[in-house]
Amino acid sequence: MGKKALEIQFQRLIMTPLAAIAREASEILTRVIVIDALDECKGDRIVGLICRLLSQLHGLGAVRLRVFLTSRSAPHIVGAFKNIPHRSLSLLDFSDETKGDISAFLEEGFAKIKADNNIMENPWPRPKDLDRLLALATNPSPLFIYAATLCRFVDDGTDNPTDQLEHWLDQADSNASQLNGIYTPILNRLLFVYKAGEERQPITSEARANLLKILGAIALLVTPLSAPALAALLDMNPGTVNFSLQRLHAVLDIPSDPTAPVEILHKSFSDYLLRQEGTGISSFQVDRVATHAMLASKCIDRMNREDGLQYDMCKLRDPSKFRDDINKDIIHDRIPLDLEYACVNWAFHMQHGGPGVPREDKAYKFLQKHFLHWLEGLSLLRELPAGITSLRQLIKVGLAPGLYLLC
């Protein structure tokens, strides 16, 4: 069900069950649906579709529903509500209350950090420093993400919290945008290696390039990957990836389970890396188009590898065997997460990779050699619809003119 069209999911999982309740209920039921961070949906069209589908709930007679959505303001978000009855509230209308909440959050957060780390300074932080941090978190707009990211950075376990806070204050610029004020101190910290009793040393150019490659990939992956799967897809040493990630807990969700995906905690970090809406600085700029091209190339390399796509992927030696009769563990073993990602998403990165995408030199040769193997892999993964989408994307970039009839 999770891979079916959004309209079908809405009808079967929400509308039909609620309509059945409405027919059986003896009194009107009141319920609230809360959807957080609508702006993090990928694709402007999806946001509009979600809003149109949710507006259909208004017609349920015996169930009184209210839908509460939160989002950053953006043109496509505002446009999605243009012809839908709604009420809007802005945090700016409650700036005093929000400022008080952020102040309480910072005070409680620092009190916990102080207790957990046996910080003897008193008071800590100093009142003037706390006032400055509150001003940075609330001007020109109150941003809880500023306060939350600050606390995670100070207590990320990589250094003494008092030193971390001093670093943040040293880097804080009242004239910078708030997103720059959040993320620049964190990434600046990554540009140096700190060793006890020694002066800090800048990281090598290779380490810097690896860091930006990893961050760019995480920001632009269609679906998040675990650290080992990310390393395999990028063809990087897993230790290099883990070392780069270990100091990014303030901005990334890095689970203790190595098989769980690494995800960006807040979309504003992606905006910062990709320099959207005037955020970011050149030192940490991720080139969106070049990164898509790199990911497209890495996906093709992964599928071309000796342990990549091939005839009879699961070594069944029985082409008549149905997909449902194949053990799932065998499929997952033969098509690990990084290879699965490459099969499903390589064409998407091709479409967005601009002139830097690998065309005749790599992509066309891949299709000549592995087209049927690719379809076999998609079938085993139950992702054949993604294959149709991929073919359309390839046609758009001029790679598959002979495949029009298949689409």
- Do both 166 and 224 map to the same domain? no
Are 288 and 274 in contact, with CB atoms under 8 Å apart?
yes
pTM above 0.85, yes or no: no
Name the least confident of 3-7, 20-24, 208-212, 392-396: 20-24
379-401 burial, b if ≥16 CB within 10 A, otherwise e? ebbebeebbebbbbbbbebebbe
Which of 259, 284, 309 corresponds to the end of one domain?
284
- Do both 149 and 208 map to the same domain? no
Q: What is the pLDDT of residues 229-284, one digit of tens each?
A: 999 999 999 999 998 898 899 999 999 899 999 999 988 898 888 876 545 456 67
| 139 inside domain | yes
For residue 407, what pLDDT is reported?
43
Strand stretches in 174-317, DSSP E: 192-193, 201-202, 252-253, 263-264
Q: What is the pLDDT of residues 235-245, one digit of tens each?
A: 999 999 998 89
| 327 pLDDT more than 70 | yes
For residue 196, what pLDDT is reported?
56
| 142 inside domain | yes
- Do both 160 and 52 map to the same domain? no
CATH of the domain at 208: 1.10.10
For residue 341, what pLDDT is reported?
97
Which of 255, 284, 313 corresponds to the end of one domain?
284
Instruction: Give 96 or 128, the one with higher predicted confidence.
Output: 128
- Do both 357 and 294 map to the same domain? yes
| 309 inside domain | yes
Torsion angle (degrees, nearest 10) of CA 260, 261, 265, 269: 160
Task: Report how far Cα 147 is from the mean position of its chain's Cα atoms.
Answer: 20
| 62 pLDDT more than 90 | no
Burial class for 354, CB neighbours closer than 10 Å (0-12, 13-18, 19+):
middle
3-state secondary structure of 212: helix
Per-residue confidence at 26, pLDDT binned at 50, 70, 90? low
Instruction: Give 377 or 17, the one with higher predicted confidence.
Output: 377
What whole-number distance in Å separates Cα of residue 375 and Cα of residue 383?
Answer: 9
Which of 88, 105, 135 corresponds to the end of one domain?
88
| 320 inside domain | yes
Q: Which domain does 26 fall in, by range?
A: 6-88
- Do both 356 and 388 map to the same domain? yes
Are 380 and 327 in contact, with CB atoms under 8 Å apart?
no
What whole-number distance in Å separates Cα of residue 140 and Cα of residue 364?
Answer: 51
How many distinct structural domains can be found in the chain?
4
Are 102 and 137 in contact, with CB atoms under 8 Å apart?
yes
